Chains A and B, each alone.
Chain A
Amino acid sequence: MFGRRQIREKWMLLVPAMAVLGVITLAPLVNTLWLSFTDAKITAIATPVNLIGLENYIYALTDPDFQDALWRTLYFTGVSVGLEVALGIAIALLLNQEFRGRTLLRALIILPWAVPTIVNAVAWRLIYHPEYGALNSLLFQLGFISSYQSWIGSPALALNMVILADVWKNFPLVVYVALAALQTVPGDLLKAAAIEGAGPWKRFCAITLPWIAGPLLVVVVLRTIEAFRVFDIVYAMTGGGPADSTKTASFYVYQEYFNYLRSGSGASYAVLIAGISAVLILAYYAAARRQDQGGRA
């Protein structure tokens, strides 16, 4: 049914979107790549910019502070996503049971997702407050701690406390994906396994989990991509501190750009981060494609 007119139209319909994305994302990406090979700085007066080859990269790759920030980011990503998935599956299994109030509980789960990231950060910061925070008071009055803790003021704890706040905001997505997947698990199969004498745990491992693994894998990779670029929650909760213990990779580059004004050097860090993200994005497409084909088969 397609004439020549419609083939031309195929592109005309796409041009506005391509133009916007080209200018706002592709051009800056190329520009960042170029900057990373220069000694550019953010200055009030225009200064000549020199190409310095791989110097920024050599520095970035041997910079122990940046390596720390990267490991920190990977720790944040791994623990955050891991907890979200464990919690998400557990809650989805619960919501898949029949009980009074299930509809209400399913509706409530969306609330953390709806809370703006910055509000989430600020709310938890107040909850973690070393003197007046609800967490200290609650744990103290219940007898779990004998003295008030400085939750986000201590380098050993801070990152984990940020993770807890992040998990609280982001677990709903996993719940809903897992719940949707659980509804496709064939009940007959589970019943048959129960008759054969398989216990709940065995049925979960042998039937349910493999059945929902496809969609879960996709959402896991997606959450990994999002968690890896973490910035907002760190900015509003801890500002990267104390003692850099929550300074993530994106935060590191932010400071290199806007505190130290080294755009060339910052760009090389940004390119390295983008490279890692690119690998994750490819993994996402691989997972999503497999899922899509599996769904059709």
Chain B
Amino acid sequence: MRRKPLHSVLLYLAALAVALFTTAPLIWLAHMSISAPADLTEVPLRWIPSEVDFSRYQALFDLESGAGERFLSALRNSVLVAGAATALALLLAVPAAYSFSRRRAPMVLLFAFLATIMMPPITYVLPLYTAFSGLGLLNSKVTLVIVYTAMLLPFAIWLMKANIDVLPVEVEQAAFMEGASTSFTLRVVVLPLALPAIAATAMLSFLVAWDEFFYALIFTNDLTAKTLPVAIADFAAGRVTDYGVIASVGVMATLPPALLAICFQKFIVSGLVAGSVKG
């Protein structure tokens, strides 16, 4: 069927509108981060920067500057916490997923796991706060790793289970016939086959942990453990006169997840769709 010209024009206009809506806020954030401070306070706005100014990014990567110290320590904390929680969650999720997939562990239990992350965090936060405070573990990266592991675990189990379900069971059966133990089979037979699924699960988990704000806000209070989202909220709440600084931190915090999402789009989208449509 050939399209009518008018139809085509409308189609491309709509596509353009969607592209603008999707990217404009991000382009604007990037624009603010490289505009001269004076440009940002002109009324009405100067849409094209009078000069391109990368000095804020330089400052962010300079440990000696105040902003740089806050940014770099938050970046380090975010990478460490999200990375460690992702690794731990997968370490626990793979055996559990295997149990649900191949040992007929009751699905009700998996639903109960999933329900724990659907509950508002406000339900858990106070007893956790009291407990960690009693253990002297407030303002510690370890605390965030523990809490994030629990937060990532249900979804990781669910995704891994769905992926193990579709692996061929024959090889495992043969391994058992030969007398292989479950842990051997898991490591040598299942793990290599499930590697793409593990990579996809790890990426999604990392992004969720990277984004987490609520627990980090409540459990941390200085450079030792504050993560990027908390640091950004601080930057934005402080008496900053240059909005470009806030924008540059925002751009830096968005780059890693945006690059992951663009490069591994198929992985991430199929994980997202599967994770949100099936229970």
Q: Which A positions have Cβ atoms within 8 angstroms of B? A: 1-2, 6-7, 9-11, 13-14, 16-18, 20-21, 23-29, 31-32, 35, 42, 91, 94, 97, 99, 101-102, 105, 107-120, 122-127, 129, 131-132, 134, 136-138, 140-141, 168, 173, 176-177, 180, 215, 218-219, 222, 225, 228-229, 231-232, 235-236, 250, 253-254, 257-258, 263, 266-267, 270-271, 273-274, 277-278, 280-281, 284-285, 287-289, 291-292
Contacts and interface: CB of A to CB of B under 8 A. Distances in A.
Contact of A107 (B125, B127, B147, B265): B265
B40 A17 contact: no
A123 B120 CA distance: 25
Contacts of A132: 40-43, 45, 243
Sorting the interface of chain B by its residue count into under 10, 10 to 19, 20 to 34 or 35 or more gives 35 or more
A21 B154 contact: yes
Given A116-B211, A123-B29, A141-B44, A285 B153 contact: no
Contacts of B233: 118, 122, 235-236
A8 to B, nearest CB: 10
A123 B25 contact: yes
Interface of B: 8, 11-12, 14-15, 18-19, 21-23, 25-26, 28-29, 32, 40-45, 92-93, 95-96, 98-99, 103-105, 109, 111, 113, 115-116, 118-128, 130-131, 146-147, 149-150, 153-154, 157, 173, 176, 182, 207, 210-211, 213-214, 217-218, 228-230, 232-233, 235-236, 243, 246-247, 250, 253-254, 257-258, 260-262, 265, 268-269, 272-273, 276-279
Given A6-B182, A24-B124, A110-B269, A17 B113 contact: yes
Contacts of A232: 213-214, 229
B45 A288 contact: no
B120 A228 contact: yes
A99 B12 contact: yes
B232 A119 contact: yes
A111 B150 CA distance: 27
Contacts of A102: 15
A147 B127 CA distance: 49
Contacts of B214: 231-232
B118 A173 contact: no
A165 B185 CA distance: 48
Given A21-B154, A35-B127, 9 more contacts: A29-B123, A116-B228, A122-B236, A124-B25, A126-B247, A132-B243, A173-B276, A229-B122, A235-B213
Query: What 3 pairs across the A-B complex have the smallest Cβ distances?
Result: A288-B279, A229-B120, A24-B150
A115 B211 CA distance: 8
B177 to A, nearest CB: 9
A235 B98 CA distance: 39
Contacts of B182: 6, 9, 13
A127 B29 CA distance: 9
A97 B1 CA distance: 12
Contacts of B173: 1
Contacts of A119: 29, 229, 232, 250, 253-254
A127 B30 CA distance: 12
A16 B95 contact: yes
Contacts of A277: 118-120, 123
Nearest to A133: B45
B103 A2 contact: yes
Contacts of A31: 126-127
Given A32-B126, A122-B233, A273-B122, A116 B43 contact: no
A27 B127 contact: yes
A125 B29 CA distance: 11
20 contacts: A1-B173, A7-B103, A9-B99, A14-B96, A20-B150, A23-B150, A28-B124, A91-B18, A111-B22, A114-B207, A114-B257, A122-B232, A122-B246, A123-B25, A123-B29, A126-B32, A126-B246, A235-B217, A277-B119, A291-B277
Contact of A108 (B23, B25, B260): B23
A116 B253 contact: yes
B265 A110 contact: yes
